[in-house]
């Protein structure tokens, strides 16, 4: 009666069913090996690789430093990073000066770019950093200008890129 309902009776399937299952598994394994082997043969075929355009790498990024000065008086340090995300940082010690100062970048082509402003404390101390637009001409220097436009300090970078 259990056999008529299609429920397993605990007996092994007939030999024909076992043989079909084995043949099906063997055929699937053979097909997998054939496809894998064919892919390997195609991938390992001898031939010249397609020409590749040369990779042009930009000059290596640099971290440049320069002394901020007014005449012979040192007023801090400027740091310029010339990598893919260029930035400028400066630490200022301009005793006797306070208030907001503007920062300008100067480029080799003669152009000037205003990159921001920051406040100096009553004692003349301040630190500031920001990204700057990369541009096509290298940065050659920076200037800090007071509210009336006079130069508080300037720095020149030797080998900007």
Q: What is the pLDDT of residues 107-123, one digit of tens each?
A: 999 999 999 999 999 99
- Quick one: which of 91, 89, 93 has its CA closest to 105? 89
Band of the pLDDT at 84, cuts 50, 70, 90?
Answer: confident
User: What span, in angstroms and rounded, lies between the C-alpha atoms of 85 and 159?
Assistant: 18
d(CA 135, CA 5): 82
Cα separation of 70 and 59, whole Å?
Answer: 31
Length of the chain: 161
In this model, does residue 90 exceed pLDDT 80? yes
């Amino acid at each position: 009666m259990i056999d008529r309902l299609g429920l397993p009776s605990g007996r092994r399937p007939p030999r024909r069913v076992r043989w079909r299952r084995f043949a099906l598994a063997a055929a699937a394994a053979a097909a997998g090996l054939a496809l894998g082997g064919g892919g390997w043969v195609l991938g390992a075929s001898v031939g010249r690789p397609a020409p590749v355009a040369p990779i042009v790498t930009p000059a290596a990024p640099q971290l440049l430093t320069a002394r901020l000065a007014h005449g012979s008086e040192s007023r801090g340090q400027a740091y310029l990073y010339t990598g893919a995300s260029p930035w400028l940082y400066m630490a200022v010690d301009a005793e006797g000066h306070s208030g907001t100062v503007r920062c300008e970048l100067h480029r080799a082509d003669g152009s000037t770019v205003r990159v921001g402003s920051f406040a100096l404390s009553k004692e003349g101390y301040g630190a500031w950093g920001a990204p700057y637009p990369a541009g096509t001409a290298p940065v050659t220097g920076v200037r800090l200008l007071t509210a009336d436009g006079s130069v508080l300090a300037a720095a020149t970078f030797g080998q900007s890129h």
